[in-house]
Amino acid sequence: MSTRLAFPRRRGARALLFIAGLALTAGLVNAQWRVRIEPNIPYDGRFTFVRLRYQVVSRSGWEFDYPQMERNFMTILNDLTTIKPHVRHSNVLDMDDPLLFRYPVAYLSEPGYWHPSAREAAGLRDWLLKGGFLIVDDFLLGQWTNFERSMRLVLPEALITPLDVSHPVFQTFFGLTTLEGMHHPGTPRATAQYLGIHEGNDPAKRLMVVINYNNDIGDYMEWSGEGWYAVNLSNDAYKLATNYLIYGLTR
């Protein structure tokens, strides 16, 4: 003999929707906070994509799009170039990890929630000044204030300046003719802007940091095979990412 819970039909439907919504929300929260970080692979001279990890204060974000974004991007890079990167493996490093100095390019996600400690700021500063190239991605609108405050802990005297399409960082592999058309996938009103920090605050010198504001090329690359976004946006994300990486490897 079984026992059934009797709800009025409309009320029961609402209850099921509510329970399903709770389960979905719980799943999303768990996915956000329980991302499995894969073991780093030892340095062997081949290009390895490096994502920077930071201490979580209010919420996480540094791991968003991991690791599928890395794998998709490295697959494209492997097909398009002679770099021959690690495709199935990538590394996650703290900003004050001495191993960071073995890698010329690093990626920082969601800097709107980044609050570097003194050790992290010093580690990232030393790496940048010794030739590191940082790609900053996935933040929008009101998150700029926190990013700028945190960036100034790393490089107190840095000038953050707009970049136009003629800058070498947009011409290293794909010759881009425009920077218009992209926006943060979270909202079309967040029109993408591209900014940078140059060595010695001299635009004629090496670009140390490229900043994708009101954009999220990582998300576009992560979901590029799922049909979530327009093909042109995913293609543009790969073009930007490829140019950034090759710039960082050659400057």
pLDDT by position in tens, the chain (length 251): 332 222 233 233 332 222 223 222 223 333 344 578 999 999 999 999 999 999 888 777 999 999 999 999 999 999 999 999 999 999 999 999 999 999 999 999 999 999 999 999 999 999 999 999 999 999 999 999 999 999 999 999 999 999 999 999 999 999 999 999 999 998 999 999 999 999 999 999 999 999 999 999 999 999 999 999 999 999 999 999 999 999 999 99
Asked if residue 107 lies in contact with residue 137, where contact means CB atoms within 8 angstroms, the answer is: yes
User: What pTM was estimated for this model as a whole?
Assistant: 0.86
Q: What's residue 60's pLDDT? A: 79
Residue among 71, 65, 86, 74 at smallest CA distance from 229 = 65
Asked if residue 251 lies in contact with residue 206, where contact means CB atoms within 8 angstroms, the answer is: yes
Asked if residue 241 lies in contact with residue 217, where contact means CB atoms within 8 angstroms, the answer is: yes
Asked if residue 227 lies in contact with residue 87, where contact means CB atoms within 8 angstroms, the answer is: no
3-state helix, strand, coil in the chain (%, to 5): 40, 15, 45
Instruction: Give the total residue count for the chain.
Output: 251
Burial of residue 229 (CB within 10 Å: 0-12, 13-18, 19+) is middle
- Domains assigned to the chain: 43-250 (3.40.50.12140)
